[in-house]
Amino acid sequence: MDARFRVSVSGALRDLRLRVQRSTTLGPLTMAVAVGVLSGVGAIVLRWMIRAVQWVFFDEGTQLGPDLGLPIPPWVVTVTAPAVGMVIVAEMVKRWAPEAKGHGVPEVQFAVRMRGGRIRPRVAFAKAVASALSIGSGGSVGREGPIVQIGSSLGSAVAQAAGMGAEEVKLMVAAGAAGAIGATFNAPIAGVLFALEVILGSFAARSFGLVVVASVSATAVAQSALGTEPAFRLVEQFEFLSNWELGLYVLLGGITGVVSLLYVRSVYGIEDWFDRWEASTWFKAVAGGLVVGLLGTFGSTHLFGVGHEGVELAMAGELTARLMFALAFMKILATSVTLGAGGSGGVFAPALFIGAMTGGAFGTIADAWLPGIAASPGAYALVGAAAVFGASAHAPMTAIIILFEMTDNYRIILPLMFSVVLAQLIASRIDPDSIYSIKLRRRGALARPRAELGTLDILLVADAMSEDVPMAAVDDSLDSLADRAREDRSRSWVVTDGEGRLAGMVALTDLERAIVEGDLAGRTVRDVMTANVVTCAHDETLRHAFRRFTDRDVYQIPVVDPRDPGRVTGVLRRTEMMWAFKELSDEHQRLVERSDALPPGSRFESIHFDMQVMPEHDGVCNHAIREIRVPEHALIALLRRGDRVVVPRGFTRVEPGDVLTLITTRQYERELRDWIVGAGHS
């Protein structure tokens, strides 16, 4: 009975999965709603977890001394709390889920760009626990980045469970991010814009519709538990007093643009400093946590955690200009140290805090110098918050809408738009990278524009190298090497030492020179080899390898393990590199000619689909390209394997996890869709 029940459930799930895959409307909508609901629940749970950790560390922790009868003053607990939390987080992230370290948003962007949207399901739980500990124990970071990563990982998990392709998985990742922002800030429109502007970088109509559904669903779930009040409560409705005031907002835009640059460079500068520091993970966490604890205890407790209360005070005009100026710079330092020392949390909320303090200080001074012209300091705090975030994230649309939704104040929309755009223009003019894209660029996920991308940038050394390496030992005699040269006709040999590790290269010209000199007796390869050898790694592009060929004018280059440069894994020959280059160039040209010959917009227009290969795709997985029976009017144009692009030749074997790009015409779109859906059930 149990076996039959399991078979029945398995069959029902399989049928449901097939229906979702085949549907072009109801299936995606259902997934978008599911992802939105899960993101909303995730936002609620994360808030509860943060509050629980705060209760343990600060509400109960400060009573530890009196409860135990020990002379421990409360300030000792508040100073050490961030250090304790960060040690736990750093060790947990290191051992369990490295993706949970840092902001959260760049990790999602990396998954969308480089992994087809695939995020491990465990990341949602790991990020929730790590961020709750970091924020709840006093780490100076926000909850928005973590909930974006949590929502995105839930969206990825749902799409992967439904067996969707790479494009659909990416779309559900964006839907999860939209739901996360909408639920966290009670700002569904801003959630949509954030997902499209920051995560996808696209405003395509289909993406917009599903992301809206997810954001609305998540916000509705969050409102049912947390209420419908705006994220920030304003004591007054700010207004734009006169056109003369625009000059002040121009000046504020310039100041916040510079402050945003300082914030971004501080975050990565201090993070780099911690990375270079040769100390253990836990020691870095303790040192960073103590710095944050001292800043929060003896500077201001508003530096601990998310800092929304401090933003509200700045908008209410209850802080002095001197204090707000100091808090802006202390928050930059506290956030940078928290992230650099191994904490887990977002940079979104700190940007709002820094901007609110900068704007509030500016507004207080303007109100004192220009009474009757300048609005109340709170108006400038609101605009400054949006401007610093918009400039640091290079997301002006999201910044404008999110502050409008978070405050429910539309009357100040004109100066808000003006200052945000100006701050973003100044920041991007000085530094083209945002606080998110810097990490992507460092990880190689920001490819050059398509117009500049050549074949040598697509192919890797692994695509062209040979694992059949002609070898010689340092102690081999030149007589024996000469005999070998006559037999295998090699032009150069990789020389290894007694332990089989790379020692140098010896070329045919080196051997010929020794023969001309006339004395081979007693001489070994060591006497004529070149010890200063140029090498390359299998994961480098052919463009990098090509530069080494031209710099040294060599015939072949040893390919070494990047983790062990003494171990040779292959050899890259000039002829094989040029052959791989020609193969991909010819294939690209054929596809271009075929596409250009088709009139756009007609039923003959070429379209492509990405198919993520699963083990159950028994007609595709573990088969050579020539064995795959694709529809008559379709062809396999490209095969992506992780970060690599593989030239699809007849003997190329398709492996689980590969992504196939298939091309057909719009006339046969349905035929190819059905074949992709049914590929796992042949």
Q: What is the pLDDT of residues 65-103, one digit of tens each?
A: 565 556 667 778 788 888 888 888 887 877 776 666 667
Q: Which amino acid is at 643?
A: D
State the pLDDT at residue 254: 93
Say how many CA atoms lie within 13 Å of 554 toward its Cβ. 26
For residue 651, the domain's CATH number is 3.30.70.1450
Q: Are residues 140 and 286 in the same domain?
A: no
Residue 447, pLDDT above cutoff 60: no
Question: 42 in helix, strand or coil?
Answer: helix
- Quick one: pLDDT band at residue 555, thresholds 50, 70, 90? confident
Does a structural domain hold residue 589? Answer: no
Q: Please state the domain count of the chain.
A: 4
Cβ-proximal residues to 107 (8 Å cutoff; 6+ apart), any chain: 99, 123, 149
Sort strands 659-665 and 564-573 into parallel, antiparallel or unpaired. unpaired
Does a structural domain hold residue 234? Answer: no
Strand order in the sheet with 502-507: 471-473, 492-496, 502-507
Sort strands 606-612 and 564-573 into parallel, antiparallel or unpaired. unpaired
Output Rg (C-alpha) for the chain, integer angstroms.
Answer: 30
Does a structural domain hold residue 584? Answer: no
For residue 314, how many other CB atoms are within 10 A of its CB?
33
Q: What is the pLDDT of residues 339-388, one digit of tens each?
A: 988 888 888 889 999 999 999 999 999 888 887 777 788 888 889 999 99
Structural domain range at position 296: 243-442
CA–CA distance, 360 with 354 (Å, rounded to integer)? 10
Q: What is the pLDDT of residues 96-141, one digit of tens each?
A: 766 666 677 888 888 887 777 778 777 778 888 888 888 988 888 8
Most confident range (mean pLDDT) of 21-25, 40-44, 449-453, 669-673 is 40-44
Q: Are residues 248 and 304 in the same domain?
A: yes
H-helix or E-strand spanning residue 661: strand 659-665
State the pLDDT at residue 387: 93
Does a structural domain hold residue 452? Answer: no
Q: Are residues 309 and 258 in the same domain?
A: yes
H-helix or E-strand spanning residue 536: strand 536-537
Which residues are 645's β-sheet partners?
A: 640
| Average pLDDT of the chain, as a whole number | 79
- Residue 587 near residue 659 (C-beta atoms within 8 A): no
Q: Which amino acid is at 335?
A: T
Judge residue 454's burial from the number of C-beta atoms within 10 Å of its C-beta, 0-12 exposed, 13-18 middle, 19 or more buried. middle
Q: Are residues 668 and 554 in the same domain?
A: no
| Residue ranges with strand state E in 116-171 | none
Does a structural domain hold residue 263? Answer: yes
Does a structural domain hold residue 76? Answer: yes
Which residues are 504's β-sheet partners?
A: 495
CA–CA distance, 338 with 305 (Å, rounded to integer)? 10
State the pLDDT at residue 601: 43
Q: Are residues 120 and 213 in the same domain?
A: yes
Q: What is the pLDDT of residues 261-271, one digit of tens each?
A: 999 999 999 98
* Mean predicted confidence (pLDDT) in 154-179: 83
Kindly state the tokens that stand for 268. 């990565």
Helix residue ranges per DSSP H, 239-305 = 246-276, 281-298
Q: Are residues 67 and 187 in the same domain?
A: yes
For residue 463, the domain's CATH number is 3.10.580.10
Residue 445, pLDDT above cutoff 70: no
Q: Which residue, 397, 414, 442, sits at the end of a domain? A: 442
- Quick one: pLDDT band at residue 18, thresholds 50, 70, 90? low
Say how many CA atoms lie within 13 Å of 37 toward its Cβ. 7
Q: Check residue 408 and give left, alpha or beta (phi > 0: left; psi -120 to 50: alpha).
A: left
Q: Are residues 161 and 53 in the same domain?
A: yes
Q: Are residues 391 and 332 in the same domain?
A: yes
- Quick one: pLDDT band at residue 603, thresholds 50, 70, 90? very low
State the pLDDT at residue 272: 87
- Indicate the pTM of the whole model: 0.65
Q: Are residues 316 and 416 in the same domain?
A: yes
Instruction: Find, among 388, 473, 371, the residue nearest to 422 by Cα.
Output: 388
Does a structural domain hold residue 4? Answer: no
H-helix or E-strand spanning residue 664: strand 659-665
Asked which of 379-383, 388-392, 411-415, 418-422 is least confident by mean pLDDT, the reply is: 411-415
State the pLDDT at residue 600: 44
- Quick one: pLDDT band at residue 225, thresholds 50, 70, 90? confident
Q: Which residue, 442, 468, 501, sits at the end of a domain? A: 442
| Residue ranges with strand state E in 549-658 | 556-561, 564-573, 606-612, 635-641, 644-646
- Residue 344 near residue 134 (C-beta atoms within 8 A): yes
* Mean predicted confidence (pLDDT) in 437-449: 65
Q: Are residues 251 and 384 in the same domain?
A: yes
Q: Are residues 405 and 468 in the same domain?
A: no
Q: Are residues 153 and 215 in the same domain?
A: yes
Q: Which residue, 549, 578, 607, sits at the end of a domain? A: 578
State the pLDDT at residue 597: 43
Cβ-proximal residues to 275 (8 Å cutoff; 6+ apart), any chain: 340
Does a structural domain hold residue 11? Answer: no
- Quick one: pLDDT band at residue 452, thresholds 50, 70, 90? very low
Phi, psi of 102, rounded to the nearest 5 degrees: 90, -155
Residue 328, pLDDT above cutoff 90: yes
For residue 135, the domain's CATH number is 1.10.3080.10
* Mean predicted confidence (pLDDT) in 491-520: 82
CA–CA distance, 176 with 154 (Å, rounded to integer)? 7
State the pLDDT at residue 352: 92
Question: 667 in helix, strand or coil?
Answer: helix
